[in-house]
Chain A
Amino acid sequence: MAFGIKRATAAAGAAIMVKLPLLAAIGGHFLPLALVTFGGVNVIIPALHTICVSELHWLGDEQFYDLLALAFAAPGPNMLFVAMIGSHVAGVAGAITATLCLVLPPVTLLAFVSHWWFRARPGRLRTVLQNAVLPATTGVFAAASYLILHAVIHRPLGLAISIVTLVVTLRTRLHPLWMLGLGGLIGAFTQL
């Protein structure tokens, strides 16, 4: 019994060793993105596309967008997208590495600062910090919208779904999941 466990551990260890270069590559590419994710995972989608599809060919264009759709539709934070890419590249270890690389740095920074922040309640500094990244984040969001629109723009019906979603989101308080579901339903019954 003990021997069996030992062997299983050794096998798992060997599997990790084989994957080490891949895990290191995930870490090396994702860590620099961690501290610039102002506004969540959505702002790094163009960067992830460049790294994982164009440069390293970890996954194809279609699969990138399929996983993105799943990350939006699945329960849980959209940060799941990064875990899905990691899982695709190097299995569960890849998913854990990818997620931790993006989640831990900002969260550690926040944990260090939080104690002081809640006591000092810096008014002006907070406003400055919140506003300072606003212009750049706007540009990055434009790039993310452009990238995803680019993927659907050659299909008239796809573009129609995007425009209807845009109008509905701006005009109503309907939960985004409804529009994602409607998009999926239309996609299922048509040749998008």
Chain B
Amino acid sequence: MDERHWLTLAEFAEIASFAQSFPGAIFFNLAVAIGMRERGVAGAAAALGGILVPAITVACAVERLQTALDANLLIHRILAGIVAAAAGLFASTFLQISKTTWERFRFTGIALAAFAFYLIVARHVPLPYVILGLLPLGIGLAWRSA
């Protein structure tokens, strides 16, 4: 955006909000949305490939390395520290998203979230059923408050 002037800031913000309302990683969605907008399907495919090829290469290399060094205690300790920090990151994302849910839907939203948590953690219901099962209720709530 800054270098090529493909988009203005406002356009970028609009595409970002569009990409965010879809399932999938925002990173890929954004790339495809911008690619589609600029050059159609070919642009989207190019944008996606441009991210996927290096990403998969890095992932494979890192995974090979980890498996090869599996017995290495030091690496395992470092990774355990990173996981501990990641747990904090997850908790902060959870708190932020809970705040948004509370602001939009109050108790009904939190109750629905608690129900989803219960289904996943205590009842081990597969994720697709939980999300799709609760979707009609979510749409009802969102429609009423929109």
Contacts and interface: CB of A to CB of B under 8 A. Distances in A.
Interface of A: 32-44, 46-47, 50, 62-63, 65-81, 83-84, 87-88, 91-92, 95-96, 99-100, 102-103, 105-107, 109-111, 113-115, 117-118, 124, 126-149, 151-152, 155, 157-159, 161-166, 168-170, 176, 179-180, 182-188, 190-192
Contact of A84 (B63, B92, B120): B63
Interface of B: 14, 17-29, 32-33, 36-37, 41, 44, 48, 51-52, 54-56, 58-60, 62-64, 66-67, 70, 74-98, 100-101, 104-105, 108-110, 112-121, 124, 126-128, 130-132, 134-135, 137-139, 141-143, 145-146
B78 A99 contact: no
Majority SS of interface residues in chain A?
Answer: helix
Contacts of A183: 81-86
The 7 residue pairs across chains A and B that have the minimum distance between CB atoms: A187-B81, A139-B116, A165-B88, A106-B24, A183-B85, A83-B59, A135-B112
A117 B41 CA distance: 15
A149 B18 CA distance: 32
B33 to A, nearest CB: 6
Contacts of A103: 24-25, 28, 48, 52
A88 B60 CA distance: 8
A42 to B, nearest CB: 7
Contacts of B114: 139, 142
Q: Which of B26, B80, B113 has the largest count of A CB atoms less than 10 A from its CB?
A: B80
A153 to B, nearest CB: 9
